Structure 1
Amino acid sequence: MGHLNATALNEKGTSVAVGAGAVWNDVYGYLDGFNLAAAGGRNGLVGVGGLLLGGGISHFSPRVGWACDGVVGYEVVLANGTLANISTTSHPDLYRALKGGGNNFGVVTRYELKTFPQGNMSVNTFSYDVSQVGAVFDAFNDVAADPNFDPYVSLQAGLLYSSAAKAWSVSASAYYTKPVLHPEVYSGFEALPSISNTSSITSVASLAAENPTPPLNWLFATLTLGTSSETMLDIFKTLNGSLYDFNPAGGVTWNFAFEPLPSVMLSKSAATGGNVLGLNPEDGNAIVLLFSALWPNSSSSDAIYQQGRDTFAAIEKVAEGKGELRKFEYLNYAGPHQTPLASYGADSLNFLRHVSKKYDPTGVFQHKVPGGFKVW
C-alpha cells in the first residue's frame, strides 16, 4: 500500500484526496503550503489508513471531531473485487461503518478528507518531579472536565516509568492550535514547580515530523474514564505498587498517557454523517488512557505481557470501584485481549455485522485478512 501515497487538493481547496499508503507527514507537509490542515495523526509517521479506520484522535478533534468524521469519501475495493466510491450519497451504510469499523469491509485505497484553514500552533511542554503528580492531575482535570472545553486544546498528561532506574517522570504536552504562547487555559500547569517548561510556535508539519520509534517490542491497552483527578491519582498509586519491583532482563519502559475526550468533540459527528463509535455528547467529558510498554529483550516478552495484563486489570478495577470506568475502548490504542468494536455498544456492533455481511457475504475480510479486530 505504501506506493498509494499521492496527495492532491481539490480546486476549491475544501478537500484533499490522500492515498491509503500515505503517512500523515505526507498530508501535513503538502497542506502546509496552502495554510490548510486536515484532522489526522499527531505523529507524522502514523499511517493515514489505519488511524482513520479506527476513529482517530487529532490535535484538531475538539474543533472538528474524530479524524474519521473528516472523511467525505472513500475509494474501496470490495470483497468481490469491484471498486466503489463511498460517501453519504453512495452506499451510506458502508460510509458510516468505515468510520471506526476497522478493516472489516474492504481495502480502502483513497480517502477524501475535509480541509480547514490552519496556520501555526503553539507547543507547551512541562516536566515535573513525581512529587507533583497529584497537582499535575488536578491541572489536567481542570481542563479536561470543563463543560466549556476550549476547542483549541490538545493535551496529554504523561507518566513514564523505567524499570532499570526505578524512577518515574511526569509530564504534560499542552498543544494549542492557535499561535498563542502560554495560553491561559494552561495556567494551572504553568503555576506548578517544574523541572522544565518550554513554549514555542511551530507549523503542524514541523510538529508532526517526529523521529522514528526504535524497532523494539510493544504492548498496548486502553480504557476510558470519567473526569476525576482523584481516580487518576489512585491509578498512579496502583501502577507504582504493581510495577515498582518488576525489572525483567533488558528492562522495560512503561508509558501512560491521559488525554481529554470532551463532549464538544463528540458533538461534531452527527453533522458529518455519523460514526459507529457509540459515543454521545450527553455522556459528558471523559478521559482516554493509553497504557503501553516498550522493551528491547524479546526473551522478556512473556513476563512483560503477563505483568501488563495483571497491572491493567488492577487499574480497571480501581476505575470501576470509583464508578469512573466507561465502556468505550479506543480501537487504535486497544490491546489484542480487548474488544473495542463490542465496546461501541450492541446497536453499533449489530450494524457493523450487518454491513459486513452485506458487502462481504463470504467473510473474506473476516477469515482471510490477518490483523485487526473482527466483527464476526
Structure 2
Amino acid sequence: MKFSVLSTLFLATVATALPSSEVERSTSFNATVLACKALKLVYSTQVFFPGEANYTAENEHFWTPTDYLSPTCVFTPKCTTDVSSAILILTGLKATFAVRGGGHMPIPGYANTIGGVLIGLTDLNEIQLSSDNSYVSVGPGRRWEEVYAYLEPYGLVALGGRVGIVGVPGLLLGGGISFYSNQHGFASDNVVAYEVVLASGKIVTATSTQYSDLFWALKGGGNSFGIVTRFDLLTYTSPTVCAGITEIPSTEKDLFLSAVANFGQYGSADPKAAVIPSIFMLASLNITVYTSALFYDGTNCTQPALANVTAIPAIENTYGSTTLATYVEGTDALIADGTRQAFRVVSSLATAEALSIVHDTFVDMVTANIWDVAGLQASVAFQPVTKNFIQQGINKGGNPQGVDISKAPYFWMVENFSWTDPADDATIYAFAAQVTDIIEAKLSAAGQAAQYHYMNDAGLGQEIFQNYGAGNLAKLRSIRAKYDPLKVYTNLMPGGWKVDAA
C-alpha cells in the first residue's frame, strides 16, 4: 500500500484555505459545496460547475439521457493520485459522490448524482501493451471499441464488450460477457491485475497473489470495494474473425426459436462460436423481427455451429470475415444514442420450453400494454451460456458469481426498452418490472428458471448478489468490511448494486 504525496499536500491546502467554521458545518448539501471548493483549489482546470461547457459534456457523457442528472460539480482526475486526493477530501467532509466510466448503465443515479460530486474518469485513458504482449493495461475512461482498435495492429484481442460504446470498468466489475467467453469465461476472469484506490486513499494493486481477496471480489462484485484506476487484461491472438448480424422475418419464428434452442443446448461443442439472438419489436412500424449477432473466432466463416441460424431465410445478413474492432465499430450505428433506455434481466435453463415462455409472454404483453408509447423499441436478447464458459472461471481461481455449473447450459436474457418521451418513464419502468415478474413466475412454474442474475443487464430493484453462489455474498460483505470499514463506497457513493444492501 502507498499514500499519495499529492493527497497529503491536498489535505494541507484544504485545511488552510477553507474557513474552519465552514468545515465544522459540513453536512449534507453543504458538504458537497465545500468538497467542490476544495477540489477547485487544487485542481483549478479539472473541476467544472453548471453552465460550463465541460460540465455539460461530462454530465451528458452517458449513452442515454435517463442518466443526465445535476451534480453540484464534476471532477475529472488525470491520474490515480488525483483520485486518491479526491477520495480523501470527500470522505473528510462526508460529501456524496458518483463515479462514471463509459456511462452505459441506464439506471438513473447508478453512475451520476443529484447534488453530489461526479467523478468523471474520462481522462484516465491509458492503453498500453506489455513488453511481452501478454496483457494490456487499460484505464477506466476507455470504451471497448478503443481497446480493440488499439490491439488490432498486433493481431490481439482482450475479453470485453460486444458493443463498442460500452465502457471498460462497468462491464468488468459486473463480470462481463464477451464473444470469447465460451473459450475463456467472464471478461473479469481474464483480468490479471487491478489498480485500486481504497476508501482510505491508499493505492493498491490487487492480483491473484497480493490482495487476493480483493482481486476475487472485483471479478463481479461491483463497486463496493474501491475505484479501479487500471485494469491489466490478458490478450489473445485473434487477428481475423467472422462476425455480423442477420435479420430474420417474423414468419420464420419457429425456425428461429429452434435454432436458438439448438445452440443453447449444444453450443459447447465449438467454443469458438457465439450468438446473440434477439426478438426485436418496433412499434412505429408495427413489426416484430428476429435478429442475431453471429461470431466465430477464426478465418473460416462456414461453421456447423452456426449453420442452423445462417440457414434461415434472412432479410439481411452481414456475417462474414472481419476484425473484432471493425465489427464493434459498426454496432454503434445500430444502438440509438440519445433515446431513453431501460434494462431488465431474466435467467433460464437453455431449453426450447423456456424460449417459448419468454417469447410468447414478452411479445403478447408488449403489444397489449405499451405498443402506443412514442418511439418504442422493445427487445429480448438471449445469451447462451455454456458449461465451458462457467468452467473457465473455475479454472482461473473462481469468481463471486459462483454460477452453478451442474445446471448449465443457460440463457441469460436482457429485456431492453427504448423510448423518446420522459413522460413515459413511469409507464415503461412499471411495465418492465411487471413483464419480468410474470415471465419469471411462468419459468419457475415450468421448472425452467435459473438462479443467477447478470448484473450488467439488470434493472432497478432486481436482486443480484442474492443469486450468487452459496456463501459468496457473505464473503463479499466480509471483504468490503476489511477494505472499506466506514462504508465510503456504500454510503457516500450510493449508486450501483451494493453487497451490504443485498
4+ residue segments displaced more than 6 Å: none
CA contact (8 A) 1:166 1:244 kept: no
Using the TM superposition, give the Cα deviation of residue 280 of structure 1 relative to its aligned residue in structure 2, in angstroms.
Answer: 3.5
Counterpart-to-counterpart distance in 1, 2:235 and 2:223:
24
Structure-2 residue corresponding to 1:221: 344
Structure-2 residue corresponding to 1:162: 282
Please give the residue correspondences for 1:266-345 in structure 2 after superposition, counting only pairs within 5 Å.
266-345=390-469
Aligned with 1:369 (options 493, 498, 502): 493
How many pairs align? Answer: 376
AA partner of residue 337 (structure 1): G
CA contact (8 A) 1:49 1:108 kept: yes
Using the TM superposition, give the Cα deviation of residue 166 of structure 1 relative to its aligned residue in structure 2, in angstroms.
Answer: 2.8
Aligned with 1:206 (options 326, 334, 341): 326
The answer to which structure, 1 or 2, has the higher relative contact order (CA under 8 A, 6+ apart) is: 1
Structure 2 unmatched ranges of 5 or more: 1-120
Q: CA deviation digits over 1:108-166, x for unaligned, max 9? A: 00011111111111124322221222221111121221174311112011111123333
AA partner of residue 342 (structure 2): L
CA contact (8 A) 2:163 2:328 kept: yes
CA contact (8 A) 1:133 1:233 kept: no
Counterpart-to-counterpart distance in 2, 1:22 and 1:241:
39
Counterpart-to-counterpart distance in 1, 2:279 and 2:341:
17
Structure-1 residue corresponding to 2:219: 99
AA partner of residue 332 (structure 2): N
Structure-2 residue corresponding to 1:31: 151
Q: CA deviation digits over 1:160-207, x for unaligned, max 9? A: 112333321112221111122232211112332332334321111111
Most deviating of 46-55 and 186-195: 186-195
Secondary structure in structure 2 of the residue aligned to 1:194: coil
Most deviating of 309-318 and 68-77: 309-318
TM-score of the superposed pair, with normalisation by structure 1: 0.96
Counterpart-to-counterpart distance in 2, 1:358 and 1:283:
33
Counterpart-to-counterpart distance in 2, 1:133 and 1:350:
43
Using the TM superposition, give the Cα deviation of residue 230 of structure 1 relative to its aligned residue in structure 2, in angstroms.
Answer: 2.5
Counterpart-to-counterpart distance in 2, 1:171 and 1:247:
20
Q: CA deviation digits over 1:74-127, x for unaligned, max 9? A: 000000000001001111111000000000100100011111111111124322
Does residue 171 (structure 1) correspond to residue 291 (structure 2)? The answer is: yes
AA partner of residue 235 (structure 1): V
Q: CA deviation digits over 1:32-76, x for unaligned, max 9? A: 111111111111211111100000000111111100000000000
Structure 1 unmatched ranges of 5 or more: none
Counterpart-to-counterpart distance in 1, 2:163 and 2:427:
29
Structure-1 residue corresponding to 2:387: 263
Counterpart-to-counterpart distance in 2, 1:301 and 1:19:
33
AA partner of residue 222 (structure 1): V
Counterpart-to-counterpart distance in 2, 1:221 and 1:152:
28
Structure-2 residue corresponding to 1:132: 252
TM-score of the superposed pair, with normalisation by structure 2: 0.73
RMSD of aligned C-alpha atoms? 1.5
Most deviating of 122-131 and 103-112: 122-131
Aligned with 1:70 (options 190, 197, 218): 190
Counterpart-to-counterpart distance in 2, 1:296 and 1:147:
37
Structure-1 residue corresponding to 2:366: 243
Task: Give the percent of matched residue pairs that are identical in Structure 1 and Structure 2.
Answer: 29
AA partner of residue 78 (structure 1): L
Using the TM superposition, give the Cα deviation of residue 10 of structure 1 relative to its aligned residue in structure 2, in angstroms.
Answer: 1.0
Higher helix share: 2
Structure-1 residue corresponding to 2:481: 357
AA partner of residue 353 (structure 2): E
Most deviating of 365-374 and 177-186: 177-186
Using the TM superposition, give the Cα deviation of residue 249 of structure 1 relative to its aligned residue in structure 2, in angstroms.
Answer: 4.3
Most deviating of 288-297 and 196-205: 196-205
Structure-2 residue corresponding to 1:41: 161
Change (3 A) 1:291 1:93: same
AA partner of residue 202 (structure 2): T
Structure-2 residue corresponding to 1:21: 141
Change (3 A) 1:3 1:247: same
Using the TM superposition, give the Cα deviation of residue 346 of structure 1 relative to its aligned residue in structure 2, in angstroms.
Answer: 4.3
Counterpart-to-counterpart distance in 2, 1:280 and 1:308:
27
Counterpart-to-counterpart distance in 2, 1:229 and 1:86:
42
Most deviating of 349-358 and 218-227: 218-227
AA partner of residue 354 (structure 2): T
AA partner of residue 318 (structure 1): K
CA contact (8 A) 1:263 1:280 kept: no
Counterpart-to-counterpart distance in 2, 1:182 and 1:92:
42
